[in-house]
Amino acid sequence: MGTTIKNLAPANVWKHFYSLTQIPRPSGQMKEVVAFVESFGKELGLPTKTDSCGNVVICKPATSGYENRPTIILQGHLDMVPQKNSDTNFDFSKDPIDAYIDGDWVKAKGTTLGADNGIGVAAAMAVLEDKTLQHGPVEALFTIDEETGMDGALGTRQGFITGTILLNMDSEDEGELYVGCAGGADLNILFQYKDDTSIPEGDIAVKLSITGLKGGHSGVDINLGRANANKLMFRFLKDAVQNFGARLSSIDGGSLRNAIPREAFAVITIPGDDEVDVLWEMISEYQDLYNSEYARVEENIKFTAEKVDLPETLIPEEIQDALINAVIGCPNGVERMLSDFPDTVETSSNLAIIKSSEGLIDIKILARSASETKKEALCSSLESVFSLAGAKVEFGSSYPGWDPDIQSPILATMKRVHKELFGTEPEIKVMHAGLECGIIMSNIPGLDVVSFGPTIKNPHSPDERVNVPAVENFWKLLVETLKQA
């Protein structure tokens, strides 16, 4: 069924996207896809080079009569977010994506599709291959590991690329041109403890599961008010501890720092079978409550429980209580909107991962802001919450945002081209998600930058889908921009 996407228009984009779906390319596993892109450039006879970071650039000379035009960099990232439904049997390290057509959309069976940013990469490949296009010099820059820390963008250096205009093809709404984005900072939080092996006789163990949430991109979708599975789980856990004497044995919520958690699982113990029916009733009430609270946002939140074998250890009570209180108090979601772009989030946080293992609870948060000072203030707030709870807080990767330039020459060109092609003015926007533009611009000052792309819904989740007509319009806008820039 996946091969049918190769028959979509524009065929030269979709054939390359199909090829990318056949190559496992989760973030951190870049060797095969980097080799694929290198081979592609060399087979076309175009200058191809790879930097020490693993980024690839393929250079295509100007067509006749366009030699004096500025060099345009077409940039996309090679990696994809590996998310799947819990009931989907899939190995991102080796299995090809099973893409299929559903009306005007292309989706994947039970997994992320990788249109983020596979469509942008495929479009750059199509430009490199197509000898009928008219354009100045082109440099196609393929960066690595964008989704887990912007590694490729952080590794870019002057000289590796020489262009003065950068078209980032990683935006996800047709008819919108992005001229700014948020910066981000990773927080890594650790509770360390000695396992409690004392479990009272007669206790029973219950596995709690929260599933069915939409999740999504923690930048693009954070303004939608979707539920965070970790927050829902710990809201219940606090009640269960206070009213049932529940003890927490393990927690496993969320899977990626930049994805809103869709699922969370916990194992608890409670004293004796007498409380089971009451606990089951309480879980059903919480499920109804969550679905009521998120009725216009989520579709079917599932909160279930099942008896399981007693665990060998418990999280010590003082650590359990500190963890629960810290998670309940942790800022999550939208903090502030941009005053100049009132529909755009300025500052947010995503309580992404909470995972316990032997003697450890590991928590990962991604803070975002278009303001460096607001980002620092949010990080300080998050640090304070978990430090007061006795956790160790460390700051990981941090990357700058991209300050808008509405006087940008390439923006003016693209606005004009969009009006000529489609008869409408594009919307000029700032994205709350982190784009590689800000980082590349900080490494290579003076670039004139716009980000655009086709409509992609629910990136970073198994509900990811890309709109077919939007891909065709995206291609038209790219081709005409290259011609007129």
C-alpha dihedral sign at 307, 312, 317, 318: negative
Which residue, 312, 189, 326, is CA-closest to 249?
A: 312
Residues in the chain: 485
Per the CB < 8 A criterion, the answer to whether 142 and 56 are in contact is yes
Q: What is the DSSP string of 109-129?
A: SSB---HHHHHHHHHHHHHHH
302-308/203-211 β-pairing: antiparallel
Per the CB < 8 A criterion, the answer to whether 215 and 226 are in contact is yes
Which residue, 186, 327, 334, 326, is CA-closest to 257?
A: 186
427-431/176-181 β-pairing: parallel
Which residue, 52, 53, 51, 47, is CA-closest to 137?
A: 47
Is 146 catalytic? The answer is yes
Counting Cβ atoms within 10 Å, is residue 223 exposed (0-12), middle (13-18) or buried (19+)?
A: middle
d(CA 229, CA 355): 13
Is 221 catalytic? The answer is no
| Residue of 116, 146, 186, 464 with catalytic role | 146
| Residue of 51, 79, 147, 463 with catalytic role | 79
Other C-beta atoms closer than 10 Å to the C-beta of 300 total 10
Residues taking part in catalysis: 79, 146
